Amino acid sequence: MFELLLPGPLHLFVVLVLLCVAAFRRRETRLGRARWLLAAAAVATYLSSTTVIANAIVRRLERAHPAVAVVGKAAAGGEGDPLVVVLSSGTSLKRGDGWEVRLDAAGWERLHAGLTLWREVGGRILFAGGPTPDGKSSEAAVMAQVAAASGVPASAITVEGQSRNTYENLAFSRELLARQRGRVFLVTSAQHMTRALAVANRLELRVEEHPCDHRAIELRHWYAWLPDNGGASLFGDVLHELAGLVWYRAKGWAR
């Protein structure tokens, strides 16, 4: 609620509405001639920063890929040991002469979901992606360190730390995933799952979705209908995924 007091989309929307009112009342002025442009800007601001609208889009995207059913190690094995594939998420910060890797909120959610799934099904766990600019470390390597500290044996951990995007996450591990005889579980954020599966389909990889980091929530407060920073951030995330999917398909990286 207090977020509404911070400078952001709500204040921009209010300013645009006031300008629209003035423009439509004085149509012969320079401001009046821009009235439809101002009206379009006001509508775009509302649609792209209102939590209810962004949340509805996110929910639709996340519900497209529910998690597959997994019950214990016996159900997961099949003809071979299962493989849990966790796609990394984070950032690299310059520290002196080197780089420091930090997992972001999505990265920690994926790591937790991957470890929880691995404890249920066993087998191996692969962490992929997020190299530092100097190539000496990666988000995947940091995830692997946390996994080892959490009790996962080194023999069960594989790190692919050179891939820089979703396509490379799977393409660089294509041979490993292709020869996997057991079930392959793909762990990533629910919003990101559509793009990740589209890449897997393009590479003809057999994977089963295990989404996590769900962002859609039940909204029961009246101010969810007002523009705010949270709504703009949520809309930005889903726009990133939809634009990314279009770009991947244009480049032939996704199907």
The pLDDT of residue 67: 82
The pLDDT of residue 102: 97
The pLDDT of residue 249: 97
Number of Cβ atoms within 10 Å of the Cβ of 5: 9
Single-letter amino acid code for the residue at 226 = L
Specify the domain boundaries for CATH 3.40.50.620 within the chain.
Answer: 69-212
Q: What is the CA radius of gyration of the chain?
A: 22
- Residue 213 CA neighbour count, 13 Å, CB half: 23
CATH code for residues 69-212: 3.40.50.620
Q: What is the residue-level pLDDT of the chain in tens, covering all 255 positions? A: 556 566 789 899 999 999 999 999 999 999 999 999 999 999 999 999 999 999 999 999 999 988 887 766 645 555 679 999 999 999 999 988 899 999 999 999 999 999 999 999 999 999 999 999 999 999 999 999 999 999 999 999 999 999 999 999 999 999 999 999 999 999 999 999 999 999 999 999 999 999 999 998 888 788 889 998 889 999 999 999 999 999 999 999 999
191, 58 in Cβ contact below 8 A? Answer: yes
The pLDDT of residue 6: 66
130, 140 in Cβ contact below 8 A? Answer: yes
pTM for this prediction: 0.88
The pLDDT of residue 74: 47
Instruction: Calculate the dihedral angle through the C-alpha atoms of 242, 245, 250, 255, rounding to the nearest 10 degrees.
Output: -140
197, 207 in Cβ contact below 8 A? Answer: yes
Residue owning tokens 């490993």: 176
